[in-house]
Amino acid sequence: MRYFLKSLLLFSIPFFLWVLAVLLIDPFNFYGQKDAGFKDKVQFEIGNQINTRLYKLIQFSKQPNRIVVIGDSRAHALKKEEIKKITGLEITNMSFGGSHFGEMRETFWHLVTKYQIDEVYWGLSFFNLSKNGLSGERIQEAERLMANPITYSFNIHSYRAIIAYAKYLLTGEVIQLGKFKETKEEVWKRQLNFAQEVYGRYVYYADFASDLSKIVTYCTSNNIKIHFFVPPTHVDLQNRIYKADLGNEYEDFKHVMMKYPSFNFDIPNTLTENMDNFKDPFHFTEEVSRGVIEKLFNFETNN
């Protein structure tokens, strides 16, 4: 019996050490302070890089906001600090890089069913609507992981974040995921090739109109104002749609969007024809972001 208890104790030591590490480092701020951010602790920056969905959903649970932005990396470019500076509004940006419509939809339902939401600004583009990418599993996974201390403590994301933080303590270097050392021309070419690959296997999500109708109906019934916008992209990227013979599907997308309060920034004009306004074909500059904010948060009619 004594041998068994001794063995059990020895076996339990790594378990308790790991739980202690999770409690002390807490890379996604599950146990931590209400208003923590990157400037407060490096481990939060690391956690956000490892799994930004888990980090931001936990942060929102600690600091809910009635005005939110949903979308992918282009909607994420509308910084809350700049929005407050221009409009005076306090918003929370719940956009995630690489999101498609399915994940945005899952984020929307997570927010409106768990919190008091008054207003939603939703950045959505034709690129997000391929039937091949409609799963909301990354949001569903984040919901599972933040459900209780056990699932939060014992998962691959917490493990990776804590190991990355340990490396930071040893080297002083914070991991930088998804960043490439390339010239703008190289990035431009890579992103256009990526778009061509995506559009080459693209299957338009035919139930998009039905899904959007359900979302807008819910908002109307629950006194939630919802505004859609199509973020600007460079004309090089816009033209890839027609080169992939997806013009009819694209016109259907625009027709659906026009039924609701929406602003389409993604049209050929002097802004989208100028490479200086973009970091790459998908992503616009901070200056363009300010212009989008000024127009988006002040429009009152469909565009």
- 187-206 pLDDT, tens digit each: 999 999 999 999 999 999 98
What integer pLDDT is reported at residue 6 of this predicted model? 57
Q: Is 301 helix (H, G, I), strand (E, B) or coil?
A: coil
Tens place of pLDDT per residue across the chain (303 aa): 665 555 656 667 777 888 888 988 999 999 976 655 554 588 899 999 999 999 999 999 999 999 999 999 999 999 999 999 999 999 999 999 999 999 999 999 999 999 999 999 999 999 999 987 778 899 999 999 999 999 999 999 999 999 999 999 888 887 777 666 788 999 999 999 999 999 999 999 989 999 999 999 999 999 999 999 999 999 999 999 999 999 999 999 999 999 998 999 999 999 999 999 999 999 999 999 999 999 998 754 334
- State residue 302's pLDDT score: 39
Rounded Cα gap, residues 263 and 149, in angstroms: 42
SS3 20: helix
User: Whole-angstrom Cα distance, residue 189 to residue 180?
Assistant: 13
pLDDT 10s digits, 210-265: 999 999 999 999 999 999 999 999 999 999 999 999 999 999 999 999 999 899 99
100: exposed, middle or buried (Cβ count in 10 Å: 0-12, 13-18, 19+): buried
Which phi-psi region, left, alpha or beta, contains residue 87 (left: φ > 0; alpha: ψ -120 to 50)? alpha
Under 8 Å between Cβ of 57 and 146: yes
CATH 3.30.1300 matches 72-132+182-303:
no
Q: Cβ(105)–Cβ(212) under 8 Å?
A: no
Residues 31/146, Cβ–Cβ less than 8 Å: no
pLDDT given for residue 300 in this prediction: 41
Residue ranges matching CATH 3.40.50 in the chain? 72-132+182-303
Chain center to CA of 134: 14
In degrees rounded to 5, what are phi and psi of residue 119?
-150, 135
Reported pTM: 0.90
Distance from C-alpha of 274 to C-alpha of 227, rounded to nearest angstrom: 27
In the chain, the amino acid numbered 242 is Y
Note the pLDDT of residue 179.
Answer: 65
Task: Report the C-alpha gap between 266 and 109 in whole angstroms.
Answer: 26
d(CA 122, CA 68): 8
DSSP β-bridge partners for residue 11 = none
Q: Degrees (nearest 5) of the Cα angle 122, 204, 210?
A: 60
